[in-house]
Structure 1
């Protein structure tokens, strides 16, 4: 029996695959390799190159690998791109998920774990975001994640399927340098790119109602993201008949952009003082997770701090940019 992991060759997916393999869980990966890389996968992990929209392929993989559960990570995830290409994002993220769910349900798979996002919350005006905080996504990307949660919940109820949706907050770091994030869409790699070019990091607004005027976020190490998935898999394995969960993955601690730049400067030894520019539309002042429910339901808590995230991300950046 195996777990099917869609998008398992990507940045987050590969970390999850490695954590599950290390825990002794058999997995098979389905990835279209649009952003994934086969070299990220541990030796011996089967990789099927294909799309979540390919129902015939999904049927074959589920049958051949005797799939007992599905962990759906595959998705398009760039907020700005989703604004420009909403139809593409709804096709890939919602229709792709629908096809996977349909294949799983018809094959009698009774465990489903969804990769979701804090983007479902939008701009919450609260000190700490709990799972009951109203969702008001501000981009087509966030909308597709929220619709995906609804679809998973409804399918689970209709087909007797245990379900968990995990809402990631701001992911950073790398378990090993070769698994580092190759994209430049999040704060840490964006800062590294500016520093490598001899430029000051950009700070989008320093007049927010926060102690230092810059935005505050909840940063979570990708290795912690991976162990949260393993904990969710165990919950689904042990008790699929009584599992319908939506959980935040965060540390429950806020760190401002200015504070992150200070840590990056210490870790890299470079001058990481920022250049303040205009705010970006839609950036909330503070988004920090409550991590209480996931601790209660899965017995999981984050293990890594911000400095470890930065140091591991920097090691990965240097490996990919030896110059």
Structure 2
């Protein structure tokens, strides 16, 4: 009787986890790279994480003499005070108006500019237009506001001189409440569209030229190639940037709005960042202004998480 022996299946060894802190690990072999990373990491910890310690004054009645730890707790008193404030509805409305307006107009502008630049056949003209559109980004906000005040002046402004030449009456742009958000948004587009187009141009450069060559052989026009090749190719980049923009919906630019404010347009120009500055630094209500800022950041955090979840389900592209 022949004895049948069972063959034992060889055991597959599990992958060995390499501890980076071992002497032969990756960390010890590339310690110089981590040394280069260390200053940036220290700056992030000092300027981004350590200040979070002061967020607790939003839940306290902060007294500089008692310090952060010695000030008494008041819970959500400052949050309730802001929500019940008579200025709450007006401030939130102004903030949402400028933010949504900027999102609808300012977000597509760099994308459209990048698509148009990508279709220019001449590299010389493309570089010239890129330089012209990038340049306003490096102008100071104070200088931008000064230029707006000069160009839109009702007496000596270039825009009003052009309107008078066309037969219209001069307009005091900075005194018109209904024009404030338009001036802010379109000046932002003029200043930041060229710089924002850099990311889209980088994404467009990753698209294979063979796709365009094949489409041209099939007789596709430039518009068809943009619609069926360029836009789908950079759609993941567009979605990621849209998530970032929606996540900072209530964080409108403080400097420009504050510099453009006056007594005639204050009803439409008072937003959450300017209100926090006036109440917190000028009024000395540190706990109240911190509570308003925390509430603003919480709303932005909820928005970015919600938009990220929607983007992941719809397009399978998300931040995490």
Query: Structure 2-normalised TM-score?
Result: 0.20
Q: Specify the structure having the higher radius of gyration (Cα).
A: 2
> Which structure has greater helix proportion?
2
> Which structure has greater strand proportion?
1
If asked which structure has higher relative contact order (CA below 8 Å, sep 6+), I would say 2
Query: Structure 1-normalised TM-score?
Result: 0.20
